[in-house]
Structure 1
Amino acid sequence: MSGGTSAMRFAVLGSGSKGNALVVEYANTRILIDCGFSVKETERRLARLGLDADAIDALVITHEHDDHWKGVSRFSRRHTVPVWLTPGTHAAKQADALSSIELYSPHEPFAIGDLEFFPYPVPHDAREPAQLIVGNGDKRLGVLSDIGHATPHVLSMVDACDALVLECNHDPALLASGPYPAYLKARVAGRLGHLSNGQAAALIKNIDATQLQQLVVAHISESNNRPELAQAALAEALSCSPDWVHVAHQREGLSWRSLVNR
């Protein structure tokens, strides 16, 4: 793919416990947020979106868990792509060889090409996890997954976004009756684990969502949730039809979504 895009757009390569990656594109800049698939699978999923892997300008990593990190080292070396990560994530993965390293603070904005990044810390059981707001000076995409509970700072960061990719990991009843061992159920439902459908819906009710053009369910558990439950919870919170809420699937991901001027 050559040339740039006039509107900021994003797509999800896949989302869930088996791998996560999201690509954001604006003008002449294309950024991959997380790379939780093998290099070959990442390349295949980028091609499905019409992108060559060599078109990726940088990897921005939220934390070191394998479903967000699996392909980072090899992808960065094979395609000579710099990796942006927090000092804590770097410390957790310092044995992994990367093409080049750029450290970012989860409290300070930074820019890569035509895109601005506004990271923010989240409560999750990783070394120094962060999530991201991505902007182009006009539109704002909020990326929020792998978080045990929404803090006031998280709410302030995702307020008034034009698009939001939001974790709806589990349904509490399905988690309680599901196949996970007790310790894993406790981790998932804990304050450093993952958001339930109800917690995600409560977040929506506590922010300004009037500018949302796109709302995407992410990191949904294949064992402890169902897409229609997550869609219904967010739709009720937003007072919209469930089919307006998109789902980023583990296998299919989510095709391109553009943020346009109204």
Structure 2
Amino acid sequence: MRFASLGSGSRGNSLVVQHQKTTVLIDCGFSIKEVKRRLASLQLEIDAINAIVVTHEHTDHISGVGGLARKFRLPVYSTRGTCMAAPWGEIPEENHITPDQSVAIGELEFWPFPVPHDARQPCQYVISNGDCRLGILTDTGSITPHITSQMTKCDAMVLECNHDLDLLYNSDYPEHLKQRITSYYGHLSNQQAADLIRTVDASRLKHLIAAHLSEKNNTSSLVRQVLSDAMNCSSDWINVIDQNQGLGWRDV
């Protein structure tokens, strides 16, 4: 199993997960043209995509889902709440998933779990090929005990590090936006992400990937320092997904 990112941040998010003949997009917050361009940088054709799995209905995660699904006849998987809230129009095949009930897509198994975020029925995923586990956790305001239990013993992890609290509090963001970001249903700070790493069993972790960084209220160097302290590793070992360049393939 391997994975890559087309980009992550407030201007668009999408992950690619591949095992044998199965290739799945997790979210698609980019236009078809941009998806093709970013897939090409991974030496991947858009025709290789078998399905789109969605975390929640916010625009930076789904703006490209409807068009992509219609043009390439792709099935879409999401919770019923996400499907009802998402403005993606008619799509060829909608599959409703239930949190904490696994679903098989080709050679991959997806374990959706609920997260606290200001969306209709958001979830994140642990993905397995039977031998290893990739945990994906972005767009959550808090770490619940259930999240901790799902994210433990992963072989790779894509983890939200949205903001540095000092940078956010001293930013020019309006107060209501600061409160939304830092709320129980907002986004994870660097410190919250580090706290999760310290809590879970990370003994199998080969890749720790920071995602969904705020371009105004965070920096890659801050993220690497906080996460490397939590992992007791070199800061160079921590990878950060770039909004524009994404992240190249990582083997799990």
After TM superposition, the structure 1 = structure 2 runs for residues 79-94 of structure 1, keeping only pairs within 5 Å, are 79-93=72-86
Match of 2:31 in 1: 38
| Structure 1 residue 200: Cα displacement | 0.3
Contact 2:102-2:110 at 8 Å conserved across structures: yes
How many aligned positions are there?
252
Distance 2:40 2:60 in 1: 20
Q: Percent identity?
A: 52
Which residue type is aligned with residue 149 of structure 1?
A: S
Residue 10 of structure 1 aligns to a residue whose secondary structure is strand
1:167–1:220: 8 Å Cα contact kept in structure 2?
yes
Aligned residue type for 1:24: V
Measured after TM superposition, the shift of residue 99 of structure 1 is 2.1
Quick one: which amino acid aligns to residue 188 of structure 2?
L
Superposed displacement of residue 174, structure 1: 0.3
Unpaired runs of at least 5, structure 2: none
Aligned to 1:257: 250
Does the 8 A contact of 1:179 with 1:223 survive in 2? no
Deviations 1:26-75 (A, max 9, x none): 01000000001111111111111111111100000000000000000000
Unaligned residue ranges in structure 1 (runs of 5+): 1-7
1:98 Cα deviation after fit: 1.2
Secondary structure of the equivalent of 1:134?
Answer: strand
Q: CA deviation at 1:179?
A: 2.4
Select which of 68, 76, 80 maps to 2:69: 76
In the TM superposition, 1:233-248 aligns within 5 A as: 233-248=226-241
Tell me the TM-score normalized by structure 2. 0.99
- Of 175-184 and 123-132, more deviation after overlay is shown by 175-184
Q: Which runs of 4+ in 1 moved over 6 A?
A: none
1:180 shift after superposition: 1.4
CA distance in 2, matches of 1:94, 1:167: 25
Whole-angstrom CA distance in 1 between matches of 2:198 and 2:176 = 30
